[in-house]
Amino acid sequence: MSDISAFLIFGPPGSGKGTVGAKLATTTGIKHLSTGDIFRGLSPASENGKLFASYAGAGKLVPDEVTVKIFSRFVGGLIDTNKFAPEKDSFLLDGIPRTVAQAELIKSVVNIKHIFVLDIPDYSIIVERLLKRAKIEGRKDDADETVIRARLKEYEDKTAAVLGAYNESLITKINGAQDPDTVLRDSLTAYIKAK
Ligand code: AMP
């Protein structure tokens, strides 16, 4: 078990993990770390960058071993360059673990203290949000409804089960369909209770 503390913001694509995660991190000082952002930051010419593009372009998850390797290397880099101090800082993970195997593999990297689940059972809200985000952020995997549906299927088939790998007492559900300020307020309340 690692001694690096981490909170986890969890939910389907388009549930607001990135937006709420960034605000929660700014308000509390915990370090927001999104694997989607890490992957999008890879050089498109690199082997891992090409691998990411081939999976993300089809709405698929990158394989577990390589995902966890890239993630742990990134975390190691933050520690080595004094951007994260394990004795005082905590991460807010966004986008990992996304499979039960990843939940097992990252145990040696981070110790999950609490999980905030952004719950949106109505997928039509998600599709609408992602198509809108595609126009603002120019993300290709948000622009194509077929890719969005494939990502939601990956979430249902592989990611939703991740919650079962953690004790129920570590999990707080938040209604992610509310307006962003209310979602942030509920997340902050849950963070303060869990801290
Ligand atoms: P996100 O920005 O979290 O929606 O991630 C965008 C894409 O990056 C996903 O559709 C996956 O292809 C890939 N990705 C991000 N995090 C992971 C992960 N933990 N495991 C596998 N693939 C991931």
- What's the farthest any 2 CA atoms get from each other in the chain? 44
The pick from 61, 91, 162 for probing ligand 1's pocket by mutation, whose C-beta has the most ligand atoms within 8 angstroms, reads 61
Q: Strand, helix or coil at 177?
A: coil
The model carries a pTM of 0.96
Q: 139 alpha carbon to ligand 1 midpoint, in Å?
A: 13
CA distances to 2, 64, 69, 110, 114 from 104, in Å: 12, 10, 13, 11, 16
* Cα 100 to Cα 102: distance, rounded to the nearest angstrom: 5
Query: Which CATH number characterizes residue 176's domain?
Result: 3.40.50.300
Pocket of ligand 1 (CB under 6 A): 13, 35-36, 39, 55-56, 60-62, 67, 95-96, 98, 102, 141, 151
Q: Each residue's pLDDT tens digit in the chain (195 positions)? A: 789 999 999 999 999 999 999 999 999 999 999 999 999 999 999 999 999 999 999 999 999 999 999 999 999 999 999 999 999 999 999 999 999 999 999 999 999 999 999 999 999 999 999 999 999 999 999 999 999 999 999 999 999 999 999 999 999 999 999 999 999 999 999 999 998
- For residue 177, the enclosing domain spans 5-194
Overall domain count for the chain: 1
The pick from 15, 60, 62 for probing ligand 1's pocket by mutation, whose C-beta has the most ligand atoms within 8 angstroms, reads 62
